[in-house]
Structure 1
Amino acid sequence: MPRQLPRRTVLSGLGAALLTGCTSSVLGSRAPSLSPSPADTSPPSPVPLPSVTVTTATGPVVVPGAPVRVVTLDTAELDSAITLGITPVGAARAAANSDFPDYWPASWLAGTAYVGDIGSPDIAKISALRPELILSNQTRDAVRYDTLRGLAPTVLTQTTGYPWKANFQLHAQALSRQEQAVAVVTAYGRHVAQTIQAIGPGRRISIVRFVEGSPTVRLYGRQSFIGTLLTDLQLGRPDAQNVDQFAVEVAPDQIAKADGDFLFYATYGDPAKAGTTGILASSGWQALAAVQAHRAFPVDDQLWFQGIGYTGANLVIAELQRFLGG
């Protein structure tokens, strides 16, 4: 398995020069600087900035200019906020995780309060933080939108995952960080171009996720966060995953559909309860060409599937480059 560069090293490089639009050396000269550390967070302005109106999935919402006390209720919103230099005062986390996504150094989120699980946040905890802005999406929080907007202006995107780039732009507007967003997007484009040059196009990449409590195996299609990254990198997909949908669910005895030139897999939750342990030991898994060629690699679920945003994307791309030998 390729040697993994510590993420703290990658993140420190990524955060060195975002706000000036400069690049830095990450993994040699291959990856640009893309994400600031919380030290870049601007202090509250002594003079409140004018409110702005943003167009959300629920209609126009008036938000305070340059909000600082921000609560994020899903992983994409968390990635957007930190990438744009805002450390949330509160955040929700995935139910199966013991903490926030582990691709962020713990010190970066030391001041961020846990406000419950994604999809079922604790309203009292959010209220106690006196937020100026709440960021989430309708997939998770449509049913509690009226309650949330009673606490603070609440910006919901329609969904999460596949439209993450458009969602990031809405987050940037709500956070008054459009200028920083331009630098983030530009640097991501450079990183993608450099990675394509390093690894070349082609090769069919299989993406597999085992989910606790699910009797099926999830094969990710093109309309997913990870699917967009592979499209950006001009990498191919196995036939079963080369579809314009989020994912395809297959029974364990259909695991042959997971084969590809390279296979990357992760587990959400307990591997025993997700079926990971049994499937990896099965004859069907062992018969996969990627497994026999030693090109099947476990990856971090919190990054590859929950790291929805530009910082997560750049870390995944950096790992893909190492796995694919660029």
Structure 2
Amino acid sequence: MHRHPPRRAVLGAALAAATLDGCRRTPNIRPPQSVNTAAAAAGATVIAATGAVAVPSAPLRVVALDTAELDSAMTLGITPVGACRAPADTDLPNYWPASRLAEVADAGTIGTPDLARISALRPELILGNQLRDGAHYGALSAIAPTVLSRTTGYPWKENVQLHARALGRATAAESVAAAYRAQLASTSHALGGPGATGSRKVSLVRFVPGGRIRLYGKQNFLGTILADLQLGRPQAQNVDQFDVEVTPDQLTGADGDVLLYASHGDPNAAGATAVLTSPAWQALGAVRGHRAFPVDDRLWFEGIGYTGASLVLAQLQRLLGY
């Protein structure tokens, strides 16, 4: 039996405090050069994947080039003026309130930012990662100070720290990280503690466009959350890498005590519709035991950051409490 657990924000007071200050945006739109030069002179220097970057002291006009950067800014109280969405999605991750997302302009797709749109938004700071946008760094940094992490998803906590330093919100980020650790402890206790969680193998499967099936390993956003909870993983996924791609006739590695799966974009285009009705999928122990649950792709696989992690933890507690 499939269940769709409700979303609920659980970062609590720490997240609310971090968000409150940043929800007040300056209404003034100034020329990019005057904004960037003056702010950077009074700001700080952060060490990004590209080297030292001078950033404004308190940037409010921020563009996020990927979902991790979007989560960091939103969690720390800054609603970006623009953001890039995943190519297979029609909009930004919808675990954020629609009222906040309505304020975020379309800045292109992840890996293919629209430079003209970004320039028109007159950002004070651009956040991204080298994996997606290393090739665009020169053009982006000509628009505004651009801070790129080396990669995305792993190691996400270190990337949030970089984003927080660039945004001038390191103290708020510490509070949010502490709230996450407290929620981890609470979730682990609810699931029976490390001894109980370690004996349960959780499978993560994602269907992506082109009919590819990804079995997620340990070096990604969700893999680190499961590791933080000391949850076990199926042998095929208990690997120090991002993922393992398999074909529809190689699904044995997808089995586990609990199987969590999602489709990126259209389920038909991703091949999920066909696989979920196939004999190979139906033969998996988790499926036969009614322990295979669909999850929201835009939260679980794109919600890379502390707000996304908090919501994932809340849903994990429900799903593993079957």
- Does the pair score TM above 0.5? yes
Residue aligning to 2:140: 148
Residue aligning to 1:181: 173
Residue aligning to 2:248: 252
Q: Does structure 1 retain, via aligned residues, the 8 Å contact 2:15–2:75?
A: no
Q: Does structure 2 retain, via aligned residues, the 8 Å contact 1:53–1:60?
A: yes
Residue aligning to 1:304: 300
Q: Does structure 2 retain, via aligned residues, the 8 Å contact 1:36–1:85?
A: yes
Residue 43 of structure 1: how far off its partner (Å): 4.5
Aligned match for 1:88, one of 75, 80, 85? 80
Paired letter, 2:290: H
CA displacement 1:133-177 (0-9 Å, x = unmatched): 000001111111000000000000000011110000000000000
Report which stretch shifted further, 102-111 or 296-305: 102-111
Q: Given the two structures, how large is their TM-score scaled by the length of structure 2?
A: 0.91
Rounded to whole Å, the distance in 2 between the matches of 1:167 and 1:241 is: 24
Q: Does structure 1 retain, via aligned residues, the 8 Å contact 2:11–2:176?
A: no
Rounded to whole Å, the distance in 1 between the matches of 2:24 and 2:180 is: 22
Aligned match for 2:206, one of 204, 209, 212? 209
Residue aligning to 2:35: none
Unaligned regions of 5+ residues in structure 1, if any?
Answer: 21-34
Identity in percent: 60
Rounded to whole Å, the distance in 2 between the matches of 1:3 and 1:113 is: 30
Q: Given the two structures, how large is their TM-score scaled by the length of structure 1?
A: 0.89
Rounded to whole Å, the distance in 2 between the matches of 1:42 and 1:213 is: 42
Rounded to whole Å, the distance in 1 between the matches of 2:60 and 2:232 is: 41
Q: Does structure 2 retain, via aligned residues, the 8 Å contact 1:19–1:183?
A: no
Q: Does structure 2 retain, via aligned residues, the 8 Å contact 1:220–1:241?
A: yes
Residue aligning to 2:31: none
Aligned match for 1:113, one of 105, 108, 119? 105
Q: Does structure 2 retain, via aligned residues, the 8 Å contact 1:223–1:245?
A: yes
Residue 269 of structure 1: how far off its partner (Å): 1.8
Unaligned regions of 5+ residues in structure 2, if any?
Answer: 29-37
Residue 105 of structure 1: how far off its partner (Å): 1.5
Residue aligning to 2:32: none
**Secondary structure at 1:92 match in 2:** strand
CA displacement 1:233-262 (0-9 Å, x = unmatched): 110000000000000011110111100000
Q: Does structure 1 retain, via aligned residues, the 8 Å contact 2:237–2:244?
A: yes
Rounded to whole Å, the distance in 2 between the matches of 1:123 and 1:2 is: 41
Residue aligning to 1:69: 61
Residue aligning to 1:23: none
Runs of 4+ in 1 over 4 A off after TM superposition: 42-49
Residue 229 of structure 1: how far off its partner (Å): 0.5
Aligned match for 1:36, one of 13, 19, 25? 19
Q: Does structure 2 retain, via aligned residues, the 8 Å contact 1:14–1:36?
A: no
Paired letter, 1:114: D
Rounded to whole Å, the distance in 1 between the matches of 2:126 and 2:4 is: 39
Q: Does structure 2 retain, via aligned residues, the 8 Å contact 1:2–1:322?
A: no
Paired letter, 2:64: T
Residue aligning to 1:222: 218
Q: Does structure 2 retain, via aligned residues, the 8 Å contact 1:80–1:171?
A: yes
Paired letter, 2:251: I
Residue aligning to 1:317: 313
Q: Give the superposed CA RMSD.
A: 2.0
Cα gap change, 1:230 to 1:14, in 2 (>3 Å)? same
Paired letter, 2:92: F
Q: Does structure 2 retain, via aligned residues, the 8 Å contact 1:15–1:36?
A: no
**Secondary structure at 2:312 match in 1:** helix
Rounded to whole Å, the distance in 1 between the matches of 2:207 and 2:13 is: 35
Structure number with the bigger relative contact order (C-alpha 8 A, sep ≥ 6) is: 2
- 1:236 paired with 2:232, answer yes
